[in-house]
Amino acid sequence: MTVAVVGFPRRSLLETAWTACRPRVHSLALHCCCPANQLAASSLRTFRSSRKAPNAGISWSEALSKDQDIGKVIFSGIQPTGVPHLGNYLGALMNWVDMQNAAAPEDTLLFSSVGFHALTMPQDPNVLRRDRRDMLAALLAIGMDPKRCTIFQQENVPQHAELAWIFNCITSIGKLRRITTWKSKVAIARHAQNAASEADASTSEGELNLGLFAYPVLQAADILLYKATHVPVGEDQVQHLELSRDIAHVFNRTHGTNLFPSPQHIITPTKRVLSLRDPSQKMSKSSPDPNSRILLTDTPQQVRKKLQRAVTDDERVLSYDPDARPGVSNLLGILAALRVRSNFAQGRNTPALSPGDIADELNKAKGGAAGAGTLKAEATDAIVEALQPIQAELQRLEKEDGYLDTLAREGAKKAAEIAEHTMCQVRQCTGLA
């Protein structure tokens, strides 16, 4: 398969790119108890016994280093919202490619498009069907290689839903009510109804669906189904991973087993990319303004138009200050990350510059005062350059009739072998087998 981005060294490119602005998923044990799944069991002999990992987050380069235990299992997922935007790419997907290329042969990496999670919000079936396909194609176009990791669609592996139900039965409502994302959804619903009393608050919460309330439990099932030892997560998902650890502990304690490990979160080296139109919010497809985001399929003309409309400020000298100058700092961060990727792809052994360094460089080039216009032009060129190979690969994939369907089937088969092995053990522990 032709990929858009070629091999990377064992050290993260992005860890040096955004050092100045860094704030900001299992191993197997026991024998398969189902006779029908002996093939799955035999294919998993290389997996190590489960062991609990410490809860402190580490960088992914540390997680994949030779000093760590061998046989690591890394899981991560993304909702199939169609073609990813630049925030998805820089905030998560580019890290997936780096992890894939840095992993040792004995490591197991699973990356999933999580369609069940998409159903927590209303969906047009035809649009969702297209979005699932577009996301799969995008993962390949950015450089994910099915020969080096398992790429699959969660909804094609029914064991995810089975384990989620079992976890639902041991997870208290109180724990889920304390999840920050649920609180925010309730607050949004309350605001929409202009609620002013406890009765109104109860009504606003009642308008939300059970799937949205319980989706962190499904996330835990996604992770623990493969007994992930490490999970790359953003800052807004750390609480969900803590719930996964808690569920693993409750299950193990309840059933007197050490079946599930305590997954460790991998700190991603990039902070989230912000909206071009409202830099107080992260870049998202949920924004009604299409100019707030850059899609990986945007033409050079579309990129230029969106960057020209990006919110910045009127100061004549560029500086990196996320609190005081969020719009300018967002573009500097994007430019810093993309420059590192460009330098490596072109074989240039150039030291990585932080966003602040880039601001100084642009100011110097303009006689000490480079305004937002200069920054927007530089960011436009960098984004267009980064998107060209991805778009070329997407066009190639569109011409390969049936390839994506074959990839989806093969990925689901590989994931299901591991998933069924785990579920054999779970059914035995719970008395369902």
Catalytically annotated residues: 185, 282, 285
Q: Do 326 and 279 meet the contact criterion of CB atoms below 8 Å apart?
A: yes
How far apart (Å, rounded) are the C-alpha atoms in residues 358 and 382? 13
Spatial separation of the C-alpha atoms in residues 284 and 294, rounded to whole Å: 10
Place of tokens 């540390």: 62
Q: Give CA–CA dist 156/412, Å, rounded.
A: 6
Centroid of chain to Cα 328? 25
* 3-class DSSP state of 347: coil
Work out the number of other CB atoms within 10 angstroms of the CB of residue 334. Answer: 27
91: DSSP letter? I
Give Cα 117 distance to the centre of its chain. 13
Q: Name the residue among 239, 72, 150 with its Cα closest to residue 419.
A: 150
Bridge partners of 264? Answer: 230
CA dist., res. 430 & res. 189, Å (int): 37
Q: Is the dihedral of CA 127, 128, 132, 133 positive or negative?
A: negative
What DSSP designation does 156 have? G
Strand 58-59 with 150-153, pairing: unpaired
Report the DSSP beta bridge partners of residue 282.
274
Q: What is the 3-state secondary structure (H, E, C) of 241-271?
A: HHHHHHHHHHHHHHHCCCCCCCCEEEECCCC
CB count within 10 Å of CB 412 equals: 21
Question: Look-up: residue for tokens 């830099």?
Answer: 279
Q: Give which of 41, 409, 88 is closest to 268, Cα–Cα.
A: 88
CB count within 10 Å of CB 81 equals: 18
Which residue is it, tokens 């299950």?
251
Which amino acid, 73? V
**Cα separations (Å) of 373 from 309, 313, 378?**
10, 10, 9
Q: Note whether 167 and 152 are within 8 A (CB).
A: no
